[in-house]
Chains A and B, each alone.
Chain A
């Protein structure tokens, strides 16, 4: 069996054990649905503008949280040692864990998109860009969640650590407010945020337009963030899980 097949085995097991459980699926859907419904009731014309942001926010919170919870839980129960004792490289383990978390994020966001499309008429101008945005966003945020999980011992510590990074991102990344309406000094900060680029790629997928002009800048930025998050997660797994 190849390393990829073994990573897929890890993912399949995680989906079976954690991500396919009804409470997690409803947890992933309930918050964004309610939030979008509230925005829709307030402004039935303007709600579409925040759809990409809320979908990206769903990925940010869902993926970072779930990846971190699963790894922290497995550290506590000792089941992560099972993986570390198997003849797998750390890259295979990280890939397996990230794929399952990312699959959860993509599926949740797709279900949400289908609901929004069918019930509230959300458009889908460039399906490929939309799915690519979901996949890249889910991958980046899952890897950040994994990286946070190995730095701490308890789930609440992981959440606290992640919140230091998630809430500022929400503020600067054009989730609720288009980038071009934000104060000028925020713009460079926004460009450095991975969430901004996920939002803009999703915006391109839904409406065929983006505050960054087209899909290529957000795509390139997301790809770069994915590589950086991958390197960070693998390095932290190697350094923190094999004790020195």
Chain B
């Protein structure tokens, strides 16, 4: 498959203004087939605006947007037939049953009667809603409404799924089970664009992330890439076979900025993880001790995200 064919979403120089507010300022990113891209940013960053442009609900001011190889403004009906969209609200028909909601949406997507019935049953099973199939959507709990809303977006087996804050407002078990469903959707071959405030969720689900701040993408890459580029905190946990004083440790390991001991194990804040590791091994050799426990933890995506926001704030203050 050529690279061109493998790109499912291509956004270049996308700009959108609401009156005097520049909501999107030259946003560019692409999404390859089978990827889950986390589209992250603080409130008002422009995440929902991007999704609305991508799915044809909002006209753009500048830039190009192609979904499944087609410009959404040129042929919105084609693009809509290839995508599934879950808004940040559960917006199915409250007076219709779960099954009827799915079948009705199947009709709108042009599925034949037998196909839509079969697909509705399949989705009710996949989302564990079989026992509630005859209940009206409006009577479901918030978590179940969210599940059915995601199921509805999949009725036509879309190639690309846009999920806008899918777990927002859900309790922990509901959010966890929805994350599992998102993994399943991805495993079945869908390409997913996920917007979320929950960075742990993005870290757990996404193959790549793009960080959007005030309408501009400030960082894009794999989760590990973003963590290593922008995460400042890197910690090490190490235990030696004999005692080591804090002074000795800090003097022998210049790459370690701070150290604290608890239950015989040191937790170290490293300026440079690789250098700190080799210095610790050299220290153990010199003191004729053995390293009996060693673990590292890099910066979390949250650390990296906060670091990016701080950099942006500093740049804004200077500007």
Contact = CB atoms under 8 A, between A and B. Distances in A.
B96 interface: yes
B107 A82 contact: no
B91 A78 contact: yes
Nearest to A13: B104
A85 B92 contact: no
A77 B94 contact: yes
Interface string A217-232: 0000000000000000
Given A77-B91, A78-B91, A88-B77, A13 B110 contact: no
A242 B57 contact: yes
A185 B27 CA distance: 61
B183 interface: no
Q: Which of A5, A82, A85 has most B Cβ within 10 Å?
A: A85
B85 interface: yes
B96 A86 contact: no
A79 B108 contact: no
Contacts of B104: 9, 13
Contacts of B93: 13, 17, 79, 82
- Interface secondary structure of A, over-half rule: helix
Interface residues of B, number: 28
Interface size class of A (residues with CB under 8 A): 20 to 34
A163 interface: no
B198 to A, nearest CB: 22
Q: Which of A82, A88, A242 has most B Cβ within 10 Å?
A: A82
A243 interface: yes
A114 interface: no
A84 interface: yes
Contacts of B80: 85-88
Nearest to B58: A243
B135 to A, nearest CB: 16
Q: Which of B109, B111, B152 has most A Cβ within 10 Å?
A: B109
Contacts, number: 68
- Interface secondary structure of B, over-half rule: loop
Interface in A1-41: 1, 5-6, 9-10, 13, 16-17
A242 B85 contact: no
Given A87-B110, A88-B77, A79 B91 contact: yes
A8 B305 CA distance: 49
A242 B59 contact: yes
B92 A82 contact: yes
Given A83-B108, A86-B108, A78 B89 contact: yes
A181 interface: no
B87 interface: yes
Contacts of B96: 13, 16-17
Contacts of A87: 77-78, 80-81, 108-110
12 contacts: A6-B107, A6-B108, A9-B104, A13-B104, A79-B93, A81-B57, A82-B108, A82-B152, A83-B108, A85-B55, A87-B77, A242-B57
In the complex, the 6 A-B pairs of residues with the closest C-beta atoms, listed nearest first: A78-B91, A87-B81, A86-B108, A9-B107, A87-B80, A1-B110
